[in-house]
Amino acid sequence: MTVVSHSLAGAPWLTADAVQAVFAVLGRDGDEVRIVGGAVRNALLGVEVVEIDFATTATPDLVAARAEAAGFKAVSTGVEHGTLTLVVDGRGFEVTTLRKDIETDGRRAVVKFGRDWLADARRRDFTVNALYVDAGGVVLDPLGGYGDLVAGRIRFIGAPEERIAEDRLRILRFFRFHAQYGTGELDRAGLSASIRGRNGIRSLSAERIGREMCRLVVAGGALPVVEAMQDAGILPIVLGGVGYPAPFRRLQESEAATGATAMVPLRLAALGCRIDEDVARLADRLRLSNAERDRMRAAVNAIDGFLDSPDRRQARRILYRLGDQTYRDAAALGFSWGVGAADDPSWRGLLALPNEWRAPTFPLAGRDVIAQTRIRGPAVGALIKELEAWWIENDFAPDERALRHRLQQIVAAAQ
């Protein structure tokens, strides 16, 4: 097995007590244990390591027994596939016994446990995910993943068709990983196999599709990948409807011009929504949270106010009605549907308005109307609405005194 010259020895995440404890507890009596996959990949790229997964020659029952003897909690999170989660000092680590898939239907696999590290590597999805590191920081690369990682290549291990047949979600992972870690064109063999196997995406659960897409759309290389998915006929299958790469591109231009952070609901709205019904469909298709769905819906339903490039006075009215977040979302989405340039001063001004002007609070309440006029019942609410409309029409300038005077005029005129 090839040893990578770049060592991870001394990395804080690797030398952490909880991590080294897992190595010590499982790596004994002839068994080996290594960290595999995303943690190694991210560490080599200088990206934050979040999740740490272990692979070991110890069988699941041995993993559980040794963990419990050491005082760790062992949770069965996929024992049929050889996976347990060990909780050490409050941190969870996935531990999976070396295995190979002996039967699969494209969604689930039957596995056989083993002790062959090369066989374990070959059953993984991409070469960049088949990188291992031992307790001392030595990086092991059985399939050339380090070279692909440095070159920005996302390449299936072995025949792409076989990897996709084992789990059709790998089609979406191929695109998502390229959006996150790839450079240049997508791997041709992987793209061709993904196109041929695209109808298999329809059998995947909405939750699995949604998890991949939510990560893909905010990745640094999302735009060219989304465009490639559209050209390949994959995007409509994933979204369950029409995709709009052009607004998606323009939204990113707007974000770059204003320094805005990419947000999943807004990017999905630009990519797949034109009307409220699109929001409902996409939220269901990707199993989005209620908060994500509601944010998309609010932006899509508020977009009309921005399609005709409102002036500053009109924009203040819109901001008052919508609030900061929906205003920002609708303005950015309106730009994505428009034809103006990303550096157009008028658009930049609209997008910056919440930073420059804070919508005031209407000075009067129902109790003020009652105290001043002795009016009761539904008429109070009607008066408040009329006063507020007049206040907004006058660009929020009238103060409480002016509003009380206006209230007297309205009441007098009605008598």
Q: Please give the residue that has the higher pLDDT: either 103 or 408.
A: 408
- The residue with tokens 């919440």 is 354
pLDDT value of position 257:
85
Residue 398 sits at the vertex; the CA angle it makes with 395 and 399, to the nearest 5 degrees, is: 135
Residue length of the chain: 415
Residue 209 sits in a domain of what CATH number? 1.10.3090.10
Q: What is the pLDDT of residues 240-283, one digit of tens each?
A: 999 999 999 999 998 988 889 999 999 999 999 999 999 999 99
In sequence order, what are the beta bridge partners of 335? none
338 DSSP 8-state letter: S
Q: Are residues 25 and 147 in the same domain?
A: yes
Of 18, 1, 15, 8, which Cα lies nearest the Cα of 45?
A: 8
Domain count, the chain: 4
Q: 347: domain range?
A: 240-359
Q: Alpha-carbon distance 55 to 117, whole Å?
A: 9
Facing residues of 74 across strands? Answer: 86
- Based on the fold, state whether residues 163 and 81 are members of the same structural domain: no
d(CA 292, CA 288): 6
Q: Rounded CA gap, 54 and 33, in Å?
A: 7
What is the per-residue pLDDT across 307-363, written as a single tens digit (0 to 9) for each? 888 899 999 999 999 999 999 999 999 999 986 677 778 888 888 899 999 999 999
Burial state string for 131-163 with b = 16 or more CB within 10 A and e = fewer than 16: bbbbbeeebbbbbbbbebbeeebbbbbeebbeb
Residue 91 and residue 16 share a domain: yes
Choose the final residue of a domain: 186, 214, 239: 239
pLDDT band, very low/low/confident/very high, at 77 (cuts 50, 70, 90): confident
How crowded is residue 126: how many other Cβ atoms within 10 Å of its Cβ?
A: 27
User: Are 22 and 128 in the same domain?
Assistant: yes
Beta carbons of 383 and 374 less than 8 angstroms apart = no
The model's pTM: 0.88
| Domain identity same for 144 and 26 | yes
Q: Which of 160, 182, 166 is nearest to 41 (CA)?
A: 182
pLDDT per position as a tens digit, 118-132: 999 999 999 999 999
Residues 146 and 81 both lie in one domain: yes
The verdict on 27 and 146 lying in the same domain is yes
Same-domain check for residues 160 and 126: no
Q: pLDDT averaged over the chain?
A: 92
Same-domain check for residues 341 and 219:
no
Residue where one domain finishes, among candidates 220, 239, 258: 239
Q: Give the span between the Cα atoms of 39 and 53, in whole angstroms.
A: 7
One domain for residues 12 and 126: yes
Quick one: which H or E segment has residue 187?
Answer: none
Nearest to 256 by CA among 347, 355, 353, 358: 347
Of 239, 254, 285, the one marking the end of a domain is: 239
Domain identity same for 130 and 177: no
Is residue 69 domain-shared with residue 112, that is, in the same domain? yes
For 295, the token pair is 């944010």
Residue 1 has pLDDT above 80, yes or no: no
